[in-house]
Amino acid sequence: MSSDQTPPYWLLISVLFSSQPLTPALAMTLHQAAFDLHQRGEGSREVAGDMLSGRVTNLRRDVALGGIAGPAFEAEIETERGSGVVRFVLTRQGLELMKQQEAPPTPPRPKYLN
């Protein structure tokens, strides 16, 4: 998936609590780890990047807050600013957008001249 096709992070993730300020890059890293956990049905996984390390945990429950609903996750992270905790939701809108982008294109149907 190229970066110009990736939806903006604010459509993909809704942060419920964060003890660290989230940059767009950090939000996308947490989103990708959580999306992979959600797709595979796994419980947790390590995340690492240039300025991040930690663990994302699938809380295995859906939450709703006003018009935002989706599966809940928690991340314990270490950044250049110190350690922190982030609790967030993958939005249903974001999940649908990601599934559409992952779906392989449908090959064109052959045209018969009968």
Q: Within 13 Å, how many C-alpha atoms sit on residue 16's CB side?
A: 19
The whole-number pLDDT of residue 4 equals: 55
The whole-number pLDDT of residue 9 equals: 65
Domain-wise residue ranges, the chain: 21-102
Q: In sequence order, what DSSP letters do the residues of 54-106 get, joined into one string?
A: EEEEEEEEEEEETTEEEEEEEEEEEETTEEEEEEEEE-HHHHHHHHHHHSPPP
The whole-number pLDDT of residue 27 equals: 87
The whole-number pLDDT of residue 47 equals: 93
Tens place of pLDDT for every residue, the chain, 114 residues? Answer: 445 566 666 677 888 899 988 888 888 899 999 999 999 999 999 999 888 899 999 999 999 988 889 999 999 999 988 999 999 999 988 888 888 877 666 667 767 766
Q: For residue 2, give Cα distances in angstroms to 6, 44, 111.
A: 7, 26, 32
The whole-number pLDDT of residue 59 equals: 96
Asked if 95 and 7 count as a contact pair (C-beta separation under 8 A), the reply is: no
Token pair of 45 as six digits: 């996984």
The whole-number pLDDT of residue 13 equals: 80
